[in-house]
Structure 1
Amino acid sequence: MDGVNLGHAASLWVGLHLLLLLVLSALVVRQRQKHKILLGDEGVPQVAQAVRAFGNATEYVPAGLAGLIVLDVASQSPLLVHIAGAILFAGRVIHAVGLSTSGGASIARSIGMTLTWLAYVFLIAATLFTAIV
Structure 2
Amino acid sequence: MPQTLLIEGHASVFDLADLAGDVVRHGAFAASLRDRRNVPMLFQHEASEPIGVWRELREDRRGLYVRGEILAEGPRGRTALSLVRSGAIDGLSIGFRTKRFSGRAPRGRELIELDLWEVSIVTFPMLPQARLRLLPQPAIAA
TM-score by length of 2: 0.24
Higher helix share: 1
Q: Which has the larger radius of gyration?
A: 1
TM-score by length of 1: 0.25
Asked which structure has the greater RCO (Cα within 8 Å, sep 6+), the reply is 2
